[in-house]
Structure 1
């Protein structure tokens, strides 16, 4: 039996998807625009020797039509490499992960489209009454870091939590971790999750923060996501049913609403997430799937439009990749993907509709281009095939002949 290690580089898009114009994202290119900004800056070109070994910039070149700046002369990859297009409508974290795990959404998640007065009054009234709240602040589209600076002091003085959304399918609630209370924030989010049943909103997100008006406010690591459950069994469920285990690291368990997850390891920051992945690899026996989401690419750098922070985080993860590659055992398969784009050069602070990496590597697996995949589900089907599972409902394995 075999093992799979699945790394999700949250938001690392490889260029606009064929239907990106439908989302206002024609021309978006997370990887390409970061590379271009680095090549034009004093810091110099983006340096990713180990991701290049696995085919990441080569996959971008295939998806985008030309090599990114600084990657004009690339060696042949040592992995199966390509890019994948999302079939589900949207550019959401849950839909991207679920599709990769074999479940393609046929209907898009709901969104709250109005920039101001975003939420229905009856929804907010129910949240206030059932949550015992003095009211709410915000009720708009906003960046999470900006809105706590703008409304944090009023939140402290009034006791009203801050509610906000974006172009994505989210209902976010921010509150002071100490003054409002972390467990109270979680309870309000659980209440909101129930109240949103008729709106088909993908996630309710608890956004705790600390600080004060004089020193400013900052979010803490105690974020929690309350996602809708996948509408059908995923790769995770299939592996569990076959006697295997799924080890979820970071926010993976929240994204899948804990469905099909055998063990949860919470870690915060890319180094801690990487360390947790290495520890799980050292301990896990056969017929195991270790899934890790590297959220800071999206949460810390993409949404905040921090181009060079994103670049530095990519280079830092690249520098650690040899540790993981050396830890692979015979029979292991490493899959590297993303869930959507979040181009840090793009207007606004929302996700972008992009192709994603589809990279697969393992001892003795060989190397070849797998081209453009018509669904993220091809990545999950490849993982399922490697684990010896029955075929998932969607996707075609890279391991099958073309």
Structure 2
């Protein structure tokens, strides 16, 4: 039986979604705008020959209705479309759960107040349960900015840096050596237990190293503590049917380790791609390899680094032939995203956008999947591919992408 590979290009939106006005995100377009900015600054067109050949550019032009400079390409080897999100938020868990067939149709809790962000009652309980009587931060902040601002004080005082954003999240930054990695994880586990009544989606441990604000840098030992999806996902259905789900990157954390058979952590896009290829060389039939390429989001989208984003995209594009070469004859590769994060947009939060829905196998030519009304179409397609029971949400496009399979 075939294997499936899902590569999530974290934050790679391709045009503002139909309901983007509710989020103040009209006319965000992560791909088009970074391509425009790259051309303005570098005087050269972004070159994505492999992604473009799969239909990425055409999907973006259809979704965003906005032209942008792009190097010449040949559209000849992929199924391509664009998908809107029906989940209530534009956060990471909602996007991933929906693509696995379970949209989030309830409202998350948020810490809306910019500063101080956390209720005093919650903080008092955290102090009591953790034994650490205080925090730094207590505000909405960019993760890299707040580490530079408060990292040295954190090292001196031993107090964790706690902050949030427009997402349903409680983030904790701490130095791996001075505070301790296991101590950070334990702190986050305790906080996770205290946030259920607030309906907060994730607690994120954000470890960093370095000695001064000039050289503090976050490490790959991030850990997300998520609540469980509200119902079984296609991952659960595959593992229950005897299949294997392999998590690469933060996928396991996003699904609270439910429906996951194996997990591999890696730091950086190249390392995540290497890990994916490694699993392609060893995974058996009836396997799903599910990879999140978080660096597009955390290193470039949130930091509003359009040039870095464009360069990372081009570097990733050059790795795709290695992935194709590692695929078996009947494997299917899917590329998508969980939300947008337009690096030319105001602020530093996610943007409500369509995401690409691309697919490839060795015998595919070019198939237009058109507009997909929910990310859950991917989960339904995976379910049909593995002969699993149908999911409640989504419409499969499996037959359409296999029409010209020889």
TM-score, structure 2 normalization? 0.96
Q: How many residues align?
A: 401
Match of 1:53 in 2: 53
Match of 2:44 in 1: 44
* Residue 70 (structure 1) shift: 2.3
* Residue 77 (structure 1) shift: 4.0
SS in 2 for 1:124: helix
Q: 1:189, 1:205 within 8 Å by CA — same for their partners in 2?
A: yes
Match of 1:249 in 2: 248
Match of 1:295 in 2: 294
Q: 1:59, 1:357 within 8 Å by CA — same for their partners in 2?
A: yes
Match of 2:217 in 1: 218
* Residue 107 (structure 1) shift: 0.4
Match of 1:229 in 2: 228
Match of 1:21 in 2: 21
* Residue 400 (structure 1) shift: 4.4
Match of 2:404 in 1: none
* Residue 390 (structure 1) shift: 1.7
Match of 2:267 in 1: 268
Match of 1:69 in 2: 69
* Residue 38 (structure 1) shift: 1.4
SS in 2 for 1:140: strand
* Residue 29 (structure 1) shift: 0.7
**Is there any run of 5+ residues in structure 1 with no aligned partner, and where?**
none
**Is there any run of 5+ residues in structure 2 with no aligned partner, and where?**
402-406
Pair 58,156 (structure 1): closer, same or farther in 2 beyond 3 Å = same
58-67 vs 240-249, greater mean Cα deviation: 58-67
CA offsets, 1:204-244, max 9 Å, x none? 00011122336442212211110111111001001011110
Q: Work out the CA distance in 2 between the residues paired with 1:92 and 1:362.
A: 30
Match of 2:83 in 1: 84
147-156 vs 304-313, greater mean Cα deviation: 147-156
Is residue 381 of structure 1 aligned with residue 351 of structure 2? no
59-68 vs 6-15, greater mean Cα deviation: 59-68
Q: Work out the CA distance in 1 between the residues paired with 2:39 and 2:213.
A: 38
* Residue 364 (structure 1) shift: 2.5
TM-score, structure 1 normalization? 0.97
Q: Work out the CA distance in 1 between the residues paired with 2:152 and 2:144.
A: 14
Is residue 396 of structure 1 aligned with residue 379 of structure 2? no
* Residue 20 (structure 1) shift: 0.7
Is residue 137 of structure 1 aligned with residue 136 of structure 2? yes
CA offsets, 1:304-344, max 9 Å, x none? 11111111110000001011112221211111000000111
* Residue 365 (structure 1) shift: 4.0
* Residue 130 (structure 1) shift: 0.7
Q: 1:174, 1:207 within 8 Å by CA — same for their partners in 2?
A: yes
Q: Work out the CA distance in 1 between the residues paired with 2:199 and 2:283.
A: 36
Q: Work out the CA distance in 2 between the residues paired with 1:301 and 1:257.
A: 25
Q: 1:182, 1:208 within 8 Å by CA — same for their partners in 2?
A: yes
